[in-house]
Amino acid sequence: MRKGIPNLAALQIFEAAARHESFTRAAEELSLTQSAVCRQVAGLEARLGVGLFQRIKKRVVLTSHGRHYASQIRKNLDRIERDTLELMAQRGVGQILEIAVVPTFASQWLIPRLPQFRAIRPDVTVNLSIRTEPFLFSDSSFDAAIYFGDAVWPGTQGQLLFREGNVLPVCSPLLMPNAGTLTPEQLAELPLLHLSTRPDAWRNWFALNGLDQDVRAVRGARYELFSMLSSAALAGLGVALIPEIMLGRELESGRLQLACDRPLASTSGYYLVTPHETDAFTALAQWLMSMAPN
């Protein structure tokens, strides 16, 4: 039993009273008497040891504590309502997998292929949420995670799906003066685009191509996500280092082109992990392995 949590009915009454800043209107909304609302709010204040409302003549006004608490309670009540409706909607439908995933992998690789998984396992609903940093499963509602790294997270079970492979320097054709590709020295004269989570990528590429300690490797704009990096490259803002597996459509269409035929090899990869393996997770893992590039 969670002894620190107030009664849910009291929280719902408080949220309504806070939203209206009126006990009378909260009572009307909840089909209660005004005195019942007053008793529940007073009981909640006594339990918390904090005043939630100021009584000014016949009006009630939220205190600073009350306003903050109301905002937090409203978010959590909304979450409970949403989770309840989702569960009710899934009655008899099958299993649900809540998966945390890095954004560009989700949009560029995973989502375009998910219809194939749905075709073979229509009983499994895959919900995706973006996470760019490591997290604890015990502090989240996720069943699994797909992330970019070098090893399986401690305390989880899972596997490497595939290694990233070649990372290519690409740019808009607008930046390419002639047909063909540039030399490393020519590329170094162009604006560079950086991914914030991989601050050493261009320095590694420069070192690989005989341009060690070149200050040009750290110049240029920085972007938080690969999707932003790709959009910047498409807009002609500079040259970006982007994994080849994320570039199929852009390279095929000619919207982006190889700036220099000197890829940067990546040994890191995409991992699928879970704290507890289930039938739905196993099915997804097997399918993902079958879809992984050779």
147 and 274 together in one domain: yes
Q: How far is CA 147 from CA 9, 34, 152, 200, in A?
A: 40, 52, 9, 19
186 and 250 together in one domain: yes
C-beta of residue 129 within 8 angstroms of C-beta of residue 100: yes
55 and 18 together in one domain: yes
Q: What is the pLDDT of residue 197?
A: 87
Q: What is the pLDDT of residue 92?
A: 55
173 and 159 together in one domain: no
* Total number of domains in the chain: 3
Report the residue count for the chain.
Answer: 294
Task: Please state the rounded mean pLDDT for residues 71-100.
Answer: 80
- Grade residue 113 by pLDDT with cuts at 50, 70 and 90: very high
d(CA 157, CA 180): 46
155 and 278 together in one domain: yes
201 and 156 together in one domain: no
Residue 3 in domain: no
150 and 216 together in one domain: no
Choose among 109, 95, 99: nearest CA to 135. 99
d(CA 195, CA 210): 22
Residue 227 in tokens: 């999707």
- Grade residue 246 by pLDDT with cuts at 50, 70 and 90: confident
138 and 188 together in one domain: no
Residue 252 in domain: yes
Residue 151 in domain: yes
d(CA 263, CA 243): 9
178 and 239 together in one domain: yes
H-type helices in the chain, by residue range? Answer: 8-20, 23-30, 34-48, 64-89, 103-104, 111-120, 184-187, 201-208, 226-234, 248-253, 279-291
Task: Please state the rounded mean pLDDT for residues 284-294.
Answer: 89
The pLDDT tens digits of the residues spanning 42-60 come to 999 999 999 999 988 778 9
CATH code, domain with 73: 1.10.10.10
Domain boundary pick from 61, 89, 117: 89
Name every residue whose Cβ is closer than 8 Å to that of residue 125 and which is 6 or more positions away in sequence: 90, 93, 94, 95, 96, 97
Rounded to whole angstroms, the maximal C-alpha distance in the chain is 80
Judged by average pLDDT, the poorest of 1-10, 199-208, 220-229 is: 1-10
206 and 120 together in one domain: no
Residue 178 in domain: yes
| Strand, helix or coil for residue 207 | helix
Choose among 196, 258, 254: nearest CA to 221. 196
Residue 1 in domain: no
Domain boundary pick from 66, 89, 112: 89
197 and 242 together in one domain: yes
d(CA 112, CA 287): 14
List the domain range (segments joined by +) for residue 250.
166-265
Task: Please state the rounded mean pLDDT for residues 103-116.
Answer: 91
pLDDT at 219 over 60: yes
- Grade residue 88 by pLDDT with cuts at 50, 70 and 90: low
CATH code, domain with 275: 3.40.190.10
Q: What is the pLDDT of residue 247?
A: 85
The pLDDT tens digits of the residues spanning 159-209 come to 999 999 999 999 999 998 776 889 999 999 999 999 998 999 999 999 999
Domain boundary pick from 59, 89, 119: 89
Rounded to two decimals, what is the model's pTM?
A: 0.66
pLDDT averaged over the chain?
A: 90
206 and 65 together in one domain: no
